[in-house]
Amino acid sequence: MASQMESARLERTTIDIAAPDRFIILRATGSVIKFDGFLKLYEEGRDDASASEENIRLPHVSEGDAITLKDIKPEQHFTEPPPRFTEATLVKKLEELGIGRPSTYASILSVLQDRSYVRLESKRFYPEDKGRLVTAFLESFFSRYVEYDFTASLEEDLDKVSAGELKWKTFLHKFWDEFHATVDNIADVRITAVLDALNEVLRPHVFPDKEDGSDPRKCPACENGQLSLKVGRFGAFVGCSNYPECKFTRQLTEQEGTGLAGQPKVLGMDPETGQEVTIRDGRFGAYVQLGEAEEGSKPKRSGIPKGTDPLSVDLDRALALLSLPREIGLHPEDQKKIVAGLGRFGPYVLHNKLYASLKDPEELFTIGLNRAVTLLAEKKANPGRGRGAAKPLKELGEHPELGGSVNVMEGRYGPYVKHGKINATIPSDTDPDSITLARAVELITAKAAKGPKKKSTKKKKAAKKKKPAKKKTSTPKQKVDAEPTEAAE
């Protein structure tokens, strides 16, 4: 019966209720029923209760009506930020805004992660500093092309081109003329102007307000310089305006989990030198430092192993890290030193330019001579570019004529069969598990018959034909502050 009745008419309403002195104002938001319609007989909310504000029913009131206080219920309510995007909710938002097509959503999500603009944790996207920088730059200098409606309107024009309603040359000319003009204008902007714009846009993120109300851009090292974004070989970082006199640097934002926010944490004094031992944030992670930088010399530093909470490092552990590299002993074969150290790729033992990785950072301080010699011997036997030798997927047996094992291997470009130094690709329509020794020998024999690939001589011929050098006109390059060296790497 309700389906045959007239539609209900509701009016979204906000009611403000003020005390006589207007010191307290209460607000209620909901819907006022203007005409019952089918709600007179049936209301869906009775079967499927919902707590959303859209289902809250408000009474009919008029401006100026007197309200009698019936009851007061004190309830505490905390607002929460909107949840972070997941892959599903981000695709849903793109659909709502008309950005992209279903066939492009997978590539959009892939590019965001492959270029380290975002990271995916617990199925939710978190923005990275690189993504924030790119977004801030585009919003500051290419705002037209990152507006939500730009892609949507572009899709509509493409549909018109597909339907024959718009000529594709006209469409391309219109886009290119506007875009080329924008690029030309940005090309004339100095790097300092770009950094100033990024400093302003990213200020709440890179230079958050301090609790004591002090200037968040004040350099903590020299105390009279101003922190600003800088550009170096390894990307953007924060440096002092008094460089090179002040060499303070830090990464854009606080290292996740360090709790340092660019401020050194004093751990204590070194009993031998009497210098202060501090833990700091660097562009490559947290590190410990002995003393302060002096003119013409750098203080001793040591990185903190990955997986170690920087705030858990005490004075004893900091001094142990600063004592690296540690001499383990002399190798029994050549009587040369074996040392344990912490490098860019983690803990290691070193002997005569041969490095062997350590799995546990604790071994830096506990590993003995026998264990170190064993690791170095294993590394020497299986160099494997830092990994062990590749293991075969399937062992087929001995070659019937030449001897030596024939195996099925997993390669970068697909499975192959291997005998000695000959590698033969397995056809794409053949299951590697179905390869027999006889079939593998056929593939290896065919590959051996072709012989090694001849190196192309095109480059050599091209090199002989030297063209006369063209005179180039150059414009003065903009001077950019040199990047301070970060020893924490």
Domain of residue 112, CATH code: 1.10.460.10
Identify whether the C-beta of residue 113 lies closer than 8 Å to the C-beta of residue 119.
Answer: yes
My answer on whether 380 and 400 are in the same domain is: no
The pLDDT, as a whole number, for residue 46 is 52
My answer on whether 180 and 263 are in the same domain is: no
My answer on whether 298 and 372 are in the same domain is: no
Identify whether the C-beta of residue 279 lies closer than 8 Å to the C-beta of residue 313.
Answer: yes
- Low-confidence spans in the chain with pLDDT less than 70: 44-55, 233-235, 253-263, 282-284, 295-296, 383-391, 452-489
My answer on whether 142 and 178 are in the same domain is: yes
DSSP 99: -
H or E element that contains 9: strand 9-18
My answer on whether 355 and 428 are in the same domain is: no
Please indicate, yes or no, if residue 63 is contained in any of the structural domains.
no
Q: Domain count of the chain?
A: 5
- The one-letter code for the residue type at 29 is T
My answer on whether 257 and 342 are in the same domain is: no
Please indicate, yes or no, if residue 10 is contained in any of the structural domains.
yes
Please indicate, yes or no, if residue 147 is contained in any of the structural domains.
yes
Distances (CA, A) of 450 to 115, 437, 447: 41, 20, 5
- Residue 476 main-chain phi, psi, to 5 deg: -60, 130
Last residue of a domain, one of 36, 55, 74: 55
Token pair, residue 314, equals: 């005490």
Please indicate, yes or no, if residue 474 is contained in any of the structural domains.
no
- The one-letter code for the residue type at 317 is R
- Residue 285 main-chain phi, psi, to 5 deg: 120, 180
My answer on whether 278 and 355 are in the same domain is: no
Please indicate, yes or no, if residue 454 is contained in any of the structural domains.
no
My answer on whether 302 and 258 are in the same domain is: yes
Range of the domain at 48: 2-55
Identify whether the C-beta of residue 54 lies closer than 8 Å to the C-beta of residue 31.
Answer: yes
Within 10 Å of residue 111's Cβ, how many Cβ atoms? Answer: 10
My answer on whether 351 and 379 are in the same domain is: yes
H or E element that contains 352: none
The C-alpha angle 399, 404, 408, rounded to 5 degrees, equals 75
Within 10 Å of residue 316's Cβ, how many Cβ atoms? Answer: 10
Could you give the CA distance from residue 57 to residue 43 in angstroms, rounded to a whole number? 12
Q: How far is CA 469 from the centre of its chain?
A: 43
Please tell me the pTM assigned to this model: 0.45
The pLDDT, as a whole number, for residue 345 is 79
Last residue of a domain, one of 10, 31, 55: 55
My answer on whether 187 and 244 are in the same domain is: no
Please indicate, yes or no, if residue 486 is contained in any of the structural domains.
no
Please indicate, yes or no, if residue 213 is contained in any of the structural domains.
no
Could you give the CA distance from residue 371 to residue 383 in angstroms, rounded to a whole number? 18
The pLDDT, as a whole number, for residue 69 is 81
Could you give the CA distance from residue 40 to residue 282 in angstroms, rounded to a whole number? 68
Token pair, residue 481, equals: 């502050």
Could you give the CA distance from residue 228 to residue 207 in angstroms, rounded to a whole number? 9
If you count them, how many residues does the chain have?
Answer: 489
Token pair, residue 470, equals: 């063209």
The pLDDT, as a whole number, for residue 246 is 82
Q: Which 3-state string (H, E, C) describes 214-229?
A: CCCCECCCCCCCEEEE
My answer on whether 238 and 261 are in the same domain is: yes
Please indicate, yes or no, if residue 60 is contained in any of the structural domains.
no
My answer on whether 127 and 47 are in the same domain is: no
The pLDDT, as a whole number, for residue 169 is 92
